[in-house]
Amino acid sequence: MTQDLFSLDGKVAAISGATRGIGRSMALALAEAGADLALLQRSPEQTQLKEDIEKLGRKCCIIPCNLERMDQVKEAIPSVVSQFGALDILINNAGIQRRAPSVDFAESDWDDVLHINLKTVWILCQQAGRHMVARGRGKIINTASLLSIQGGFTVPAYAAAKGAVAQLTKALANEWAKHNVNVNAIVPGYVATDMNTALIRDPVRSSQILERIPAGRWGEPDDFKGTVVFLASDASNYVHGHLLAVDGGWLGR
């Protein structure tokens, strides 16, 4: 049955940045499709998502993972494997944003954004890849950005990091496709999340953005549910190194 291609029954997924926004919707979608979840969280005391996943009848654990601490980042995937026995799906969704004119952009902000948005993605991919390549299967899904493709304004570090995430996705796909490990990325458009609050509240910029989106609206976190299940499931087994835009048509304009 075609619907079986999208089933995640018996799969184990790890996800970062899932306590709110796009990440929360993606985590719930994976659980609704049948996966058990490991939540890589900075704040283990935030248990609402864990409880919501368990209400769906899935197993869920919280792995303490402060992305500013490389020791915790390097321990995260081994901890997931230790608790569940395997890892089938990794979603790298966590990220931060800093805005300032490029002539004034602080070096510390550059370092913070590149560390969280790129280095930790690389380390988690590498750790998961070692496990998945040895098993001969797995799915890695990175969260890229429109700024993986476009330059943006006043976000030089974010654009640099997300551009690199897109290229890292392709590079890993080239190496690991022969091992049945799919590495792809989701490219969110303008989505109504906390990260975009400043843009939403700016009447001029918000209007400019809406005028360019063919769908005529900002995206919502639930718009990513079907996308993540597709890329995490057998339905995407021949999809490698792809940047899948969920942008209301922005990039086609």
- Tell me the pLDDT tens digit for each residue of 96-123: 999 999 999 999 999 999 999 999 999 9
Nearest of 25, 85, 93 to residue 61 by alpha carbon: 85
Exposed/middle/buried for residue 201 (C-beta within 10 Å: 0-12, 13-18, 19+): exposed
Residue 28 CB-density burial (10 A; 0-12 exposed, 13-18 middle, 19+ buried): buried
pLDDT for the residue numbered 199: 79
The pTM of this model reads 0.96
CB-CB contact of 166 with 182 (8 Å): no
pLDDT in tens, 71-101: 999 999 999 999 999 999 999 999 999 999 9
Q: How confident is the model at residue 32 (pLDDT cuts 50, 70, 90)?
A: very high
Q: Residue 158 catalytic? A: yes
Token pair of 233, please? 């499931």
pLDDT at 173: 98
Q: What are the pLDDT digits (tens) for 179-222? A: 999 999 999 999 988 878 877 888 888 888 999 999 999 999 99
Provide the pLDDT for residue 194. Answer: 80
Q: Quick one: average pLDDT of 125-132? A: 98
Exactly one of 118, 148, 158, 172 is catalytic; name it. 158
Domain ranges within the chain, ordered by starting residue: 2-191+220-246
Determine the pLDDT at residue 198: 78
Amino acid 167 reads: Q
pLDDT at 11 over 90: yes
What is the average pLDDT across 144-163? 96
- 2-191+220-246 has which CATH code? 3.40.50.720
- Tell me the average pLDDT across 137-158: 97
| DSSP code string of the chain | -GGGGG--TT-EEEEES-SSHHHHHHHHHHHHTT-EEEEEES-TT--HHHHHHHHTT--EEEEE--TT-HHHHHHHHHHHHHHHS---EEEE---------GGG--HHHHHHHHIIIIIHHHHHHHHHHHHHHHHT-EEEEEE--GGGTS--SS-HHHHHHHHHHHHHHHHHHHHHGGGTEEEEEEEE-SB-SGGGHHHHH-HHHHHHHHHH-TTSS-B-GGGGHHHHHHHHSGGGTT--S-EEEESTTGGG-
Q: What pLDDT shows up at residue 12?
A: 98
